[in-house]
Structure 1
Amino acid sequence: MTATVTVHELEARDQKISQVKVFTDRAEVRRLVKVSLKSGVNEVILKNLTQNLFAGSMRVEGRGNATIYDVVVKNSPSSSGDSVSPKIATIRSTLKEEKARLQSIEDRGSIVQKSIENLDKVFGQVGGGLVNPPKEGGSSLNEGTLTSLKNFFDFYGSNSETYREKLRAIETEHREQQEKVRKVEQELNLLQSEQHRNSYSQSAIITLECSQESDAELDIIYQVNNSGWSPSYDIRVDTEKSSMQITYFGKIRQHTNEDWNGAPLVLSTAQPCLGGKIPELGTLEAVFRSRYVHQQAPMVRATPGGGNYALFGAAPSQMVQAQTSPFSARVEPPPPPMEVAVASEVTQNTLSTEFKILREATIPHGTNDHKVTVGIVTLSPKLVHETVPSKNSSAFLTASAINTSELAFLSGDSSVYLNNAFVAKSHLKNVSPGERFTCSLGVDTAIRVEYKPAKKYHEEGGYITKHSANVTEQTIYVKNTRSEQPVLLTIKHHVPRSTDEKIRVKLVSPSATPYDPEKATNESENAEPVEGAKFNSSNNLEWTVKLAPNSSQDLVIKYVVEHPKDETVQYHEKF
């Protein structure tokens, strides 16, 4: 004898959300279901789950005197699937009216078209009678006939023109009405497709068994797509206090076709979309290369020369402080600034970090930008000036700092403020705790850089083996227009790297320290610069000079490239 099954039907959206964990590309929703179980087998049916449910993501955890046997997710008709929405009914009525107007226009056009055809037919018959007059009875033209013909031609001309004007107007009206009908049909099709998609919903059937009546709690956990979060930052640098404050925001988007009402939020840096499968290696076979090799010209990335981009704000030296009169009225101190609620708990997992948001949030379907504050970090940056004059003849003020917080910064957009003035939109790369990073603060107009035309000349030499030497001499003019403080300016410039033993590159000026990989492992390349020239890991020259107030310098970079006389050297920039 089959045991009686007790069925408990519940609406999914009515069950309380106990947590929403938002990943960068999806979200995990946890709902709490309370149910009173009967003795024997019980089926808890959770109806109308969102269609954005990830397949295979449903799992159930429970508390109570019962055993969970299985969990099944299937499509089932939704509660509103059989009814027609009022909006669809209204659009159907509108479409019927627009089609009726279109049919009326077509009828009027048909009548005018028939009138033109009949008029042309009569005109043709009269013309045929004139060309082929009757064989008997003498001439067919007389004074009365000519008068009748003149009257007929006048009648035909005026009426034919009137009918054709009417037909052209009707054709224009017909095209406009056809476009109206097409738009209404398109809107109706979209709504009907959406209703068809919503006519079936996901339902979860949870089978439990208990020995006696008892109350139980079920945690229904599932993942949904069309949701996620992305980081954004406000970076505020104060040059007087030498401080950098980074406000870490999380922007949540939610298009899951369900509302998150009163949901405790957790933002996770885990990225499920990347998966966890280790790539496999195939077999690397060594074979002889074919004698015929197609030579393809390498791609050369064209880069413009110097050029000033938009300038951001004024230099600190150009900022004038307001003078306060000793006779001015007493000013009440301003109220204290508001505090900002940040994430109350940060959990470091093995492969990710989770930020628990302080308060519950309500995020309805269709939300694009629900912003919460993850944390506020205050750092002590080093302010340096950098320029790449071959690309852009501007000096950029850069803040370099070490992330001393426990927060991992994900890659995201940032708004940069210098001394409370907005200077630029930037992009922050991934930064782990304890890692040094740099942030561009925009162009410093007080530092002027001029990239002068390079001098290039050719030499030849050698008694036995002839060789050629290409000499490049580049002059860079730099000036500090500030009158109160010196600055350290780092110039970054290309020096070619040889890829063949027959090509020899020699830096003549300035004298530079070669790159040392062992030393670089102990010292960060983003460390505070010191005066002098050195090569970095990309074989680019980094020349740091100290500019005194109201001073200028001409910096000369000179190098020689030697190669066999019968060979030609090309330069390709690779990133």
Structure 2
Amino acid sequence: MKRIAGILMLVLQVLPYTISAQKAVEVNSNITDVVVYLDAASITRKAQVNLPEGRTKISFTGLSPFIDFKTISITTPEGVSIESINHSNNYLSKKDKNEEAEMLTKKLSDLEAQQKVISTSIAVVNEEINFLNDNRSISGKNEAVSVQTLKDASTFYGSRIKELRFKSLELSEQHNDITKKIEETRRQLSVISSKPSTPTGEIEVLLETNSPKNEVPIVVNYLVKNAGWFPRYDIKANVLDRPITLVYKANIRQETKEDWKNVKVKLTNSEPNVSGVAPALKPYLLNYGLQPPRYGKIVNVVQGRVTDTHGNPLPGTNIVISGTSIGTIANTEGKYSINIPTDANSLTFSMVGFKPRTLPINSNTINVVMEEDEVRLEEVTVVAYGVASDDYDRSRKSEVRKEAPKPKITGGAVTESGILEKLTSVEFELAKPFSLESENKSQDVKLLTYEIPAEFKYSTTPKVDKGAYLWVNIPAWEMYNLLDGEANVFFENTYTGSTLIDTRKALDTLQLSLGVDKSISVKREKVKEFTKKQLIGSSKEETRSWKITIKNNKSQDISITVLDQIPVSINEEIKVNVLEKSNAAINPENGEVKWDLLIPAGQFRELILTYSVRYPKNRNLYVE
């Protein structure tokens, strides 16, 4: 009995190791659903497996190597229990690089074969040319050659030599073209070979069932980081008293190393986070030793090129204004351009396989060199019990519907029922299956087209910029679920440039700058006869006067806000007195001078701003 008990104990001790060492059964799974976040994606895979009685280890293979293992969640039907979940990266299966390298190797082999054929053809042509040159003489030693024979021989020789020369030239051009393609292919193959291979992800699941079960549905869900989306917009306005058309688009990217083929896609955003691109005044504080505010070059658009350390362009690089959802993608030449809000500080550049970079916005041109990330993906094994991380909770318990008037939707990939508003975010569900391969490219999807009632108004700050900016005011903007993003502007059927939808400081009404309207002219000039400096007792007094002229060259009346400023004294010895303001409203705290005007079509208005500054005559003060 002791011996039997000992053997039983040994079997019980060895059994767990036997189960652990059990070879996993690979199962076929397909991606069915994807939830795309601004900087991540939640992937849902489904498979059907046959399970014998007892414990079975199954393996989901060919997955993304960028899985956040903390978010792995497995769902099984009743009667099937999950004993453990293991995640790892398989470095023996590196399909992405191998497939591309094999394709380029085959292309190189085909090109080299073509090159050999052309080289042989050139050699044959040259042999024939040499043969004709060696046999040009047709005269014999003992017999004369007729004139006609000479003519025929000359004609044949000239025609054939000409034909062969042109054929040689054509073949040489083909040879040079093939040689160039071979060099390009070799360089590309060298770049791929020099980069570290990307492994594939695998998830092993140990399941247990009390009885055999066939076609058991297993659902796997996990989060990957190399995916995301950001909004883009088209704003179309034709007549100032008509609604605007707003096309809401999504730029979707994914480099997860998993292709999405005919999957259900939902796009979700964080809480919508303003200011326009139009210039803003700085307070003009007046004191000894202080200079008036200076308005240098405003950085409202940044452009540049993204390359690797060898100078090669990095198409598909993601460029985002830090802390916002405003972003863009580098093109095939690595070039990019992005609109900048007035309070933006930095840009973040990210690309799979390269270290992310965050750079300050201090110039209109920012060229970026990205360094390869030498930290290789290490194999990770984790045993997980339970569901995904709370950060990406996929439960729908918190979903609520706002009791707000529905905006008018006139088209797009999302229907009205496909918009789901939650407590802190909004979700767009595409009505049709969506496909996107894993590569350094992005795809624009037209989500919605809104017809939005809007109020148009102009503003100008001629001290800083003599342009008249057209603004559109959108009340109750929250119902449109707008995110921060760039927008192309079409005014009166003409593309006028791009602007920003920036909701971070918007209240009940969202203001969008549609750019400068050149049919409104603005002029600001100093009135010299009222600009003077004089002594009054123990004080100096300086007077400044400015004339602002706004002309409406449109065929419609316009409403326009004109902004200027007076200095604000922060010293009791310095007194500022407004002499003429043309009925403007003045903010005493920051010195802002504001006119709200209605200018009929074809007419103009002149505004006068005159102020004096008095200070002790023994002091020096710079007055603009």
Would you say same fold, with TM above 0.5? yes
Deviation for aligned residue 1:485: 4.8
- Which of 513, 525, 533 pairs up with 1:458? 533
1:246 aligns with 2:260: no
Give 1 or 2 for the bigger CA radius of gyration. 1
Measure, in 1, the Cα distance between the counterparts of 2:72 and 2:239: 52
- Residue 356 of structure 1 deviates from its aligned partner by 1.2
Pick closer, same or farther for the CA change 1:93–1:546 going to 2, 3 Å: closer
Deviations 1:235-275 (A, max 9, x none): 12242652122121111112222110111111111289x9x
* Equivalent-residue separation in structure 2 for 1:389 and 1:511 (angstroms): 16
Three-state SS of the structure 2 residue aligned to 1:371 is strand
Q: For the structure 1 residues 185 and 425, does the alpha-carbon distance in structure 2 shift closer, same or farther, using more than 3 Å as the test?
A: closer
Q: Quickly say closer, same or farther: Cα 1:571–1:255, change in 2 above 3 A.
A: farther
2:63 is aligned with 1:69: no
SS in 2 for 1:256: coil
CA shift at 1:386, angstroms? 1.5
Name the counterpart of 2:610.
Answer: 558
2:579 aligns with one of 494, 505, 508: 508
Matches within 5 A, 1:96-495: 187-194=188-195, 197-198=197-198, 200-215=199-214, 216-239=216-239, 241-270=241-270, 300-302=294-296, 339-343=411-415, 344-366=417-439, 368-404=441-477, 406-430=479-503, 435-453=508-526, 455=528, 456-461=531-536, 466-482=538-554, 485-495=556-566
Contact 1:450 1:476 (8 Å CA) reproduced = yes
**Deviation of 1:213 (Å):** 1.9
Q: In the TM superposition, what is the alpha-carbon distance from 1:301 to its structure 2 partner?
A: 4.4
Q: Answer whether contact 1:40 1:212 (CA < 8 A) is retained.
A: yes
Cα distance change, pair 83–424 in 1 and its aligned pair in 2 (3 A): closer
Query: In the superposition, relative to structure 1, how do residues 64 and 239 fare at CA in structure 2: closer, same or farther (>3 Å)?
Result: same
Answer yes or no: is the 8 Å Cα contact 1:48–1:78 preserved in 2: no
Asked if the contact 2:469/2:513 (under 8 Å) is kept, the reply is yes
CA offset digits 1:418-442 (Å, max 9, x no partner)? 3444333222112799731222334
Contact 1:383/1:400 (<8 A) preserved? yes
Within 2, Cα distance between the matches of 1:181 and 1:46? 39
**By how many angstroms is 1:28 displaced?**
1.4
Q: What SS does structure 2 have at the residue aligned with 1:390?
A: coil
Q: Does 1:15 align with 2:29?
A: yes
Contact 1:408 1:431 in 2 (8 A): no
Q: Which residue in the other structure is 1:285 paired with? A: none
Q: SS of the counterpart of 1:58?
A: strand
Q: 1:261 to 1:560 in 2, by over 3 A?
A: same
Displacement of 1:234 in angstroms is 1.5
Structure 2 CA distance for aligned equivalents of residues 502 and 218 of structure 1:
81
Give the aligned residue type for 1:380.
Answer: P
Tell me how far 1:475 sits from its aligned partner.
0.8
* C-alpha deviation, 1:7, in angstroms: 5.0
Gaps of 5+ in 2: 1-10, 114-179, 274-288, 299-409
Cross-structure match for 2:73: 59
Q: Which amino acid aligns with 2:587?
A: F
Letter in 1 for 2:39: D
Q: Is the 8 A contact 2:65 2:89 kept in 1?
A: no
Counterpart CA distance in 2 for 1:232 and 1:489 is: 28
- The one-letter code matched in structure 2 to 1:302 is G
Q: Deviations over 1:33-82 (max 9, x none)?
A: 22222222221211122223235332223323122222221122444679
> Which amino acid in 2 is paired with 1:235?
I
Change (3 A) 1:213 1:451: same
Structure-1 separation of matches of 2:69 and 2:564? 53
1:360 Cα offset (Å): 1.1
User: Aligned partners of 1:214 and 1:299: how far apart in 2?
Assistant: 78
**Separation in 2 of the partners of 1:93 and 1:228?**
38
- The 3-state SS of whatever aligns with 1:190 is helix
Other structure's SS at 1:212 match: coil
In 1: Cα distance, 2:572 partner to 2:219 partner: 68
Structure 1 residues 7, 351: CA separation in 2 closer, same or farther (over 3 Å shift)?
farther
One-letter amino acid matched to 2:202: S
Aligned mates of 1:370, 1:451 — CA distance in 2:
46
- Following TM superposition, by how much is the alpha carbon of 1:351 offset from its aligned partner in structure 2, in angstroms? 2.3
Q: Note closer, same or farther for the CA distance 1:435–1:537 as it changes in structure 2 (3 Å cut).
A: farther
Q: 1:309-333 CA distances to partner (integer Å, 9 max, x unpaired)?
A: xxxxxxxxxxxxxxxxxxxxxxxxx
Q: How many residues align?
A: 411
Distance 1:548 1:89 in 2: 70
CA distance in 2 between counterparts of 1:468 and 1:486 reads 44
Alignment partners' CA distance in 2, 1:303 and 1:188 = 44
Matched to 1:507, the amino acid is V
In structure 2, relative to structure 1, the CA distance for the partners of 1:9 and 1:301 (3 Å cut) is farther
The alpha-carbon deviation at position 543 of structure 1 amounts to: 0.9
The structural deviation recorded for 1:555 is 0.9
After TM superposition, give the deviation of residue 477 of structure 1 in Å.
1.7
* SS of equivalent to 2:510: strand
Q: Say which SS state the counterpart of residue 479 (structure 2) adopts.
A: coil
Identity in percent: 20
